[in-house]
Amino acid sequence: MTTGYLVLEDGTSFMGTIENGNDNIGEVVFTTSMTGYQEIITDPSYADQIIVFTYPLIGNYGLNQDSEESDVKHLTGVIAYDFHLTKEQKQEETFLHYLNKNKIPHLTGVDTRAIVKYIGRNKAMKGILTNYPPDSNIIKEKLYEMRGYKLNSIDLIQKVSTKKILRFGHEPREENKKLHIVVMDLGCKQSIIRTLCNLESKVTVVPWNTTYEQIESLQPDGILISNGPGDPAQMKDLYNVIKELTFNYPTLGICLGHQLIAAAYGGMTERMGFGHRGSNHPVYNHKTGKVFITSQNHGYVVTKNKEIEEEFDITYSHVNDNSIEGLQHKKLPIQTVQFHPESSPGPLDTLSIFKDYLQMIESERKYVFT
């Protein structure tokens, strides 16, 4: 490992030791999660982002092959104070070895508290992980490039979405017993698919640009609009197909899916200062009065406006900033959540989101056939 730097687009730099530095530009964000580091770095929603872990020791319980959220690592880099060299029994590599095997740039020995405080004061910004000193001509050129660089959200979706239709849980002997859920993959986590399969559903995952007619031909019972990276306001090409799907099928939207459903019905979204990323976010349930501790990963949020209030009831709100965390359509079988109900940061409270969704589909089926 050699001396390396995180250099932000305003020229501010933080020094540590680096491996696999590649000078690629990424949005610098932080997560407050103490666990789930393997799930985080394989989450497609972190595409083209540099993740700063606020918890100082990352890698302290090893790796688990079942914890991957995708087959490809889409993030730009990882920053932590220290990578603990623990590995689980029967495993041959530590988390640090895992990062190196996958050629993921990472910076350690850096004051992550200072980085987080700086982002908190100045809002999330772009940065690079590099071996070059911040005052070098190469970095000066990179800063110029960085300030004019804009992340294209459609490019991000194309990057993380499946390229072909995938099927899970389609066992022939149980075909007629299971609900069929079609997932529009905008960067879907594997744990969402696993959760649906564990709840005795069959799942078909389709690429982000699949048409309504193509999805209709699959004969779904319900639709799930997945999580993913990027700015929902740059994805207007998806609004019409999402509105058509939600008008004709019971639908659940998660994270980016929540934002896009709101936008398709005239809602507005805005970029947050530094987002919600971590597994300790308290969310208030308006129906029960209870609070869930949730896992979240988003930099954009749905804002209240006339269209949202006319079309939807707000079902969940963030306790800390009162931002919208869930919606339910007043007439149609549509529900959305900003948080990740499949992640279960400790208890399984939010698993009920999926159970309620499947029950909503069953109710719609009975209504249609009676």
Please list the active-site residues. 255, 340, 342
- Residue 185: which of 262, 257, 269 has the closest Cα? 257
- Residue 300: which of 334, 335, 258 has the closest Cα? 258
Across 9-138, where does the E strand assignment appear? 13-19, 25-31, 49-53, 57-58, 77-79, 82-83, 106-108, 125-130
Strands 57-58 and 82-83: parallel
Two structure tokens written together for 181:
């859920």
- As a dihedral over the C-alpha atoms of residue 237, residue 322, residue 292, residue 203, rounded to 10 degrees, the angle is -10
- Other CB atoms within 10 Å distance of the CB of residue 21: 18
How many whole angstroms separate alpha carbon 139 and alpha carbon 130?
8
- Other CB atoms within 10 Å distance of the CB of residue 309: 12
**Helices (H), ranges, 165-217:** 190-198, 212-217
Pairs from 303-309 (Cβ < 8 Å, separation ≥ 24): 303/267, 303/268, 303/269, 303/270, 305/266, 305/267, 305/268, 307/265, 307/266, 307/267, 308/262, 308/265, 308/266, 308/267, 308/268
Two structure tokens written together for 124:
């999330």
